[in-house]
Amino acid sequence: MKKLTVIVSALLVLACSTAFAEAGGDDVTSVGIIPFGYSDDNARWISGKLSDFLMDNLETSEDFVLISEDDLEDAFEDIGFDPDQFKYGVPPDMIVDAGTGMGADLIVFGFVVPGGGDQYQVLWNIVVVSSNNTISPAPSMVVKNTDPVKELAETIVSEINGQVGARADESLNMARYHSVNGTWNSAITSYLQVLEVDPEHIDAMNELAAIYMKSDVDSVSRAEEMFNNILVIDPVNSPALSGLGKVALAAGDNEAAKDYFDQAIAADPDNTAAYSGLATAYTAMGMTDEAITSFETALVSNPDNLQARYALGLLYAELGNYTDAIPHIEAILEARPEYNNLRLKLASAYSEIGDYGSAADNAIIVLDSTPDDTDLALFVAQYEAKAGRTSDAVARLNSIIASSGSRQAYLMLATVYRDSGQRGSMQGVFNRLHSAYPGDPVANYMVGAFYYQSGSSKARVSELVSSNVSTWESAISELRSAVTFLNQVTGYRASQAQNMVSAAQNAISLCEEKIDRVNRYSQ
């Protein structure tokens, strides 16, 4: 059964939520303060004052819930650590164990040491308990004085969420950079770093799961686990529900997929991916008519439902009904002109119905936004050539050759000249290709194959009449050129090249026999 190619274009929001959900349901963070370690009496005074001021600030903050000093000490005693030893510092692994026991989201700890003169250096750290991740901001300098210590405590409290969020943002931006460049292993590593800092970062979880779903990553089970983790945090998260629909499709459970996509649409009627997935599920179950009816009904009740129109356009295109697909796709692009993948789908649909001019026009729009995309430029040139815009196609192909030296552009340019009857220009292109890639086996193979295909086509002309002699003579000339180039091919293509050489020599003999027979019959 056919399956839809899901084309989804969405803007990624580079914002990071840094709050941790407390069991009570409010978006606040529970924080424990371990008295800072110290090395002398002055450092002990600073540590004591700093702890008091930190607790005061946390108690009055709307973003945090302070874990009481008694609860904190009890938690450390439960794991066998004497709170009287805080002055010497605490092993990070014990902090995580104690933090888990007291239900903390974050634990702040540090050390106060002499910094020279009357200055003391305060090294402070934040432990994210759920991920066992420690964040160490830049140390601060302070003197033994109440006001500077109080100001430092205010600064630390104000920076707690910022430090956690900044670490998550940094990793998230790096993950998205790697994702855009298709370096999946690096992207996965960076997304996991985000989740080490903020284990409930839903955007990172959804984006990481989407990478796991990619065919060249193929970690569907990990994607499923990630989507389910999201639903524990947010049971009506539409992207996660849609993601589980894709997981179900991959497993061949189309009915379950349909149910997930229905839930995703109910949670977010603007989830384009869910509509596309629902169309895929319908199609996989052989319920094409039901799918069309479902989406058309949605459009009747709400003509502005772009998501239903999107899915319907893709569905018609998948079924080969390009005439009906085009108006729906155009309606989406009118509202979302930045959907480049969908515009390329529209260009392909126009090409399928023979409207190569419209195909070229739409492909050019995409090319204007990605001018360095050589493969797309080749498609545009092909559309232009088929639309009869020979001069535009020639100019574009020459531009591609000048900028990239593309062998494919040389061959396509030769084809354009051939189809427009400019055989001399075609030969000139081959000469240029041969000069650009002297002795290059790929170039020789491409040119040889071109001559072989053209000569073989002419050789197949069978009617033994005098008017066909020139065609067979042209075929012989082209097939001999093919043999010349193909005999120079080395490497893994050599076997294929020699097969064509044998076929070309047979075709030459056949053409010579046809010419001889016609000449004898005409005497």
Distance CA 374, CA 358 (A): 20
Q: What amino acid is encoded at 418 in this protein?
A: R
Q: Kindly state the tokens that stand for 82.
A: 């004497």
Angle 340-352/374-386 helices, nearest 10 degrees?
Answer: 30
CA 508 to the chain's CA centroid: 51
Return the pLDDT at 64: 86
- Highest mean pLDDT, choosing among 220-229, 262-271, 403-412: 220-229
Task: With cut-offs at 50, 70 and 90, classify the pLDDT of residue 269.
Answer: confident
CA distances from 26 to 22, 29, 127 (A): 6, 9, 21
Distance CA 486, CA 295 (A): 54
Q: What is the DSSP string of 142-164?
A: EESSHHHHHHHHHHHHHHHHHHH
Residue 348 has pLDDT above 70, yes or no: yes
Distance CA 479, CA 469 (A): 15
Return the pLDDT at 7: 27
Query: Is residue 50 a contact partner of residue 153, using CB atoms and an 8 Å limit?
Result: yes
Question: Over pLDDT 90: what percentage of the chain?
Answer: 49
Return the pLDDT at 24: 34
Residue 16 has pLDDT above 60, yes or no: no
Give the closest residue to 272 by CA, choosing from 311, 300, 231, 303: 311
For the stretch 420-434, pLDDT in tens is 888 789 888 888 988
Task: With cut-offs at 50, 70 and 90, classify the pLDDT of residue 3.
Answer: very low
Exposure string over 467-482, b if 16+ CB within 10 A, otherwise e:
ebbebbebbbebbebb
Q: Kindly state the tokens that stand for 350.
A: 């126009």
Distance CA 155, CA 18 (A): 17
What's the predicted TM-score (pTM) here?
0.49
Least confident of 47-56, 180-189, 493-502: 180-189
For the stretch 171-203, pLDDT in tens is 788 888 788 778 888 888 888 888 877 888 899
For the stretch 312-338, pLDDT in tens is 888 888 888 999 999 999 998 998 898
Q: Look at strands 106-116 and 119-128 and give their pairing.
A: antiparallel
Q: Where are the beta strands (DSSP E) in 370-449?
A: none
Return the pLDDT at 19: 30
* CATH code given to domain 29-163: 3.40.50.10070
For the stretch 277-310, pLDDT in tens is 888 888 888 888 888 887 888 788 788 888 788 8
Residue 5 has pLDDT above 70, yes or no: no
475-496 average pLDDT score: 92
Query: Is residue 277 a contact partner of residue 246, using CB atoms and an 8 Å limit?
Result: yes
Return the pLDDT at 167: 67
Q: Kindly state the tokens that stand for 301.
A: 């009740």
Give the closest residue to 388 by CA, choosing from 360, 426, 428: 360
Query: Is residue 275 a contact partner of residue 243, using CB atoms and an 8 Å limit?
Result: no
Three state DSSP letters for 212-236: HCCCCCCCHHHHHHHHHHHHHHCCC
For the stretch 163-178, pLDDT in tens is 776 667 777 888 887 8
For the stretch 23-37, pLDDT in tens is 333 457 889 999 999
Residue 11 has pLDDT above 50, yes or no: no
- Taking all residues of the chain, what is their mean pLDDT, rounded to a whole number? 86
- Highest mean pLDDT, choosing among 127-136, 276-285, 385-394: 385-394
166 - beta bridge partners? none
340-369 average pLDDT score: 94
3-state secondary structure of 115: strand
Give the closest residue to 1 by CA, choosing from 279, 379, 211, 385: 279
For the stretch 423-470, pLDDT in tens is 789 888 888 988 888 888 888 888 888 899 889 999 999 899 999 999
Task: With cut-offs at 50, 70 and 90, classify the pLDDT of residue 343.
Answer: very high
Return the pLDDT at 27: 56
Return the pLDDT at 8: 27
Find where tokens 């545009």 sit.
380
Return the pLDDT at 523: 64
Each domain of the chain, given as residue ranges in start order, spans 29-163, 437-523
Query: Is residue 468 a contact partner of residue 476, using CB atoms and an 8 Å limit?
Result: no
Query: Is residue 220 a contact partner of residue 211, using CB atoms and an 8 Å limit?
Result: no
